[in-house]
């Protein structure tokens, strides 16, 4: 049986690594790809009218909602779920179990299955990036990219458009786009994995 290490306050530090700006660009591109790829999955369960109305009341098209959703949420949620929870799990459990468990917790705090699916899948990607880079910065960047795209769709789309698939009327084009991006995402992840394996230096603050 694997002996678990005793944890204390010194084990929890916010980690930042010297990461090339090219890796950040790759991460942003892969994040955008993933958002589009998982969009059909997140709309499989129709959002009930009462929840849609509630979310509309909670989020408005103003600077306060923008700052809360796009700026504050990525920073504080990543600080908690990757910087503290996932980092703590990684000290005790295997990387796979740690990433899955932290992603499940991340999904559960969204309190509804419609957002939880997206949160879990994005959480897996963010968790993997954190494990590979040992840095909170790219995690915040992924979360920021996801939230800013969601906010822009909410801001500038028609009232009945709540997802990327709603914005593309031609379903053949949309399916072709998903298939193409899935292939590119797969090879993009493999390329990024090689890049991260050979070049990053960890620092803690």
- pLDDT above 70 for 71: yes
List the chain domain ranges: 63-167, 170-200
Band of residue 111 on the pLDDT scale cut at 50, 70, 90: confident
Element (H, E) at 15: strand 15-18
**pTM, two decimal places:** 0.83
Element (H, E) at 203: strand 201-204
- pLDDT above 90 for 25: yes
pLDDT of residue 137: 94
The average pLDDT across 103-121 equals 88
Crossing angle for the helix pair 73-80 and 137-156, to the nearest 10 degrees: 140
State both tokens at 194. Answer: 């090689």
* Residue 125 main-chain phi, psi, to 5 deg: -65, -45
Element (H, E) at 6: none
At CB < 8 A and 24+ separation, what contacts does 92-96 make? 92/4, 92/5, 92/7, 95/131
Comparing 39 with 50, which gets the higher pLDDT? 39
Band of residue 55 on the pLDDT scale cut at 50, 70, 90: low
Torsion of CA 57, 61, 66, 69, to 10 degrees: 30
Comparing 126 with 168, which gets the higher pLDDT? 126
Comparing 18 with 39, which gets the higher pLDDT? 39
pLDDT in tens, 148-192: 998 888 777 655 555 677 677 778 888 899 999 999 999 999 999
Comparing 156 with 118, which gets the higher pLDDT? 118
């Amino acid at each position: 049986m694997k002996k678990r290490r005793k944890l204390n306050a010194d084990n929890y530090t916010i980690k930042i690594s010297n990461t090339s700006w090219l890796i950040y660009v790759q991460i942003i591109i892969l994040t955008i790809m993933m958002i589009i790829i998982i969009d059909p999955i997140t709309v499989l369960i129709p959002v009930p009218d009462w929840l849609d109305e509630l979310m509309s009341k909670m989020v408005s098209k103003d600077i306060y909602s923008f700052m809360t959703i796009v700026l504050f949420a990525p920073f504080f949620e990543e600080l908690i779920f990757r910087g503290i929870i996932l980092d703590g799990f990684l000290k005790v459990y295997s990387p796979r179990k740690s990433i899955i468990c932290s992603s499940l917790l991340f999904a559960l705090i969204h309190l509804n299955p419609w957002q939880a699916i997206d949160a879990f899948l994005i959480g897996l990607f963010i968790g993997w990036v954190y494990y590979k880079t040992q840095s909170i910065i790219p995690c915040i960047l992924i979360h920021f990219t996801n939230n800013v795209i969601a906010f822009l769709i909410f801001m500038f789309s028609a009232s009945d458009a709540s997802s990327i698939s709603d914005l593309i009327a031609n379903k053949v084009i949309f399916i072709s786009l998903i298939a193409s991006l899935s292939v590119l995402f797969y090879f993009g992840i493999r390329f990024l994995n090689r890049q991260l394996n050979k070049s990053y230096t960890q620092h803690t603050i």
